[in-house]
Amino acid sequence: MILMIDYYRETRDFWLTDLEAYLKTPALVRIDVNVPVVKGRISENSLRLLIYANVIEVLSEYAGLVVVAHQGRPGGRDFLSLKQHWAVLRKHLPLSVDIEYVPYEKCFRAETRKRIKELKKGEVLLFDNIRMNPEETKFDAEKSMFISFFKGVIRTCINDGMPVWHRRHTSVMSLPYIAPTFIGFRSTYELKVLNDVLREKSENCCILMGGAKFEKASLVLKIAKKMKVLTGGIPGQLIALAKGYDLGKRNNAFLKRKMKLDQFETAKALSKLDVLHPVDFVVSENGEVSTVKIEDMRESNGIIMDIGEETLDKYVSILSGIPIRLRAGPLGVYEQGFLNGVELTKRILGHGLIFIGGDTSQEAFNTNLERKITSTGGALLISGGSFLHGLAGNNYPCLDEILKQKRAPA
């Protein structure tokens, strides 16, 4: 496959390799604890929260920390403060780590700046949802309030937010403008996995795309030209629809209501490539569950809940013969007990199985697959769209900013 810039090797000078030497108090850390939300409550059983609690615990031994993260997008049902996240992190962290939640209205005040200056090792300030900051999606280094607030106070920055690296957002782009900046532990690990995949031959790689959205459609088009692509979830339904299959009135209407025109256009383009879609579906109608072949879906009034068993067997047959097997997005509504995607995962366990993204890793975490995947040589990654961004051969703007630094300061 064609490589983008070799970020894994180019950024080596900016890895955290000596915490005692590199971390200076106060340190600013960008993480990603964006997790699923149901009826206003976050998923407390979250892999991301557990991972970053461990990261915070390690870093706080060597410096007082200001931690910045986001949840959801403005206007969305999952756009919440980080108070619930703070409560979960508090449960995961030892009592020796003093973590304090700072609501957004207090984040950028003079008294908070004074509090940051006084931080000691083991003390952590968790700033509220950074997407409440109107400049977050409008990075401007010369006019940034974020930069002016932290510059001169923060002595070290750590970018450990790989899931948002594909976005030119202020909280990741501005770090090198504030203080010497390093790449965090988790992000370095996931960057290494991406690098390994990019260095593999195309015929040795296959990606299974699922999930409940198709926002990365243009990336999938690029990826499909590099490796074999299988689909399930919403992507699988869209590809099937683009190939002329009638999925029944309810499913057709759902897709047309939820998807944008450009997503249908990308699905049409993908349908002309060697991209596979499910050949049967598990559907639910009036409380009854059945499996319906794709050619019979036109007669069904059931809602698609999962891939069918024939698709499961077909996909396992393909994936079991490929060294690098990427999974991006759930294949069914696993929260309601539709677990063919889980069964598929069990059958292709082993070295080379890579789970991508928050929703995918959450599926593994909630169905007790996490340890089975990692214990048998697989990888469980929290970066999703960002990983696909790199897999498609695109650059990471925030890493380009870090690379402008001459070398890691001693």
Each residue's pLDDT tens digit, 56-82: 999 999 999 999 999 999 999 999 999
Q: How far apart are CA 309 and CA 306, in angstroms?
A: 9
Q: What is the mean pLDDT of the chain?
A: 93
Task: Judge whether 7-186 and 200-391 match in fold.
Answer: yes
For residue 28, give the H/E element and its range. strand 27-30
Spatial separation of the C-alpha atoms in residues 375 and 291, rounded to whole Å:
33
Return the minimum-mean-pLDDT range out of 88-92, 219-223, 306-310, 397-401.
219-223
Q: Is 284 helix (H, G, I), strand (E, B) or coil?
A: strand
In this prediction, residue 407 carries a pLDDT of 60
Which band of pLDDT confidence, cut at 50, 70 and 90, is reported for residue 2? low
Q: Report which of residues 409 and 365 the model is more confident about.
A: 365
CATH class of 200-391: alpha beta
User: Is the pLDDT score of 290 beyond 60?
Assistant: yes
**What element of type H or E holds 159?**
strand 156-159
C-alpha 25: how far from its chain's center? 29
- Whole-structure pTM over 0.85, yes or no? yes
Tokens of 83: 């108070």
Token output for 155: 């002595």
Taking a C-beta distance cutoff of 8 angstroms, is the pair 370, 47 a contact?
yes
Boundaries of every domain in the chain: 7-186, 200-391
Q: What is the mean pLDDT of residues 122-148?
A: 97
Is the domain spanning 7-186 CATH 3.30.980.10? The answer is no
Which of 165-169, 185-189, 334-338 comes out lowest in average pLDDT? 334-338
Residue 9 has pLDDT above 80, yes or no: yes
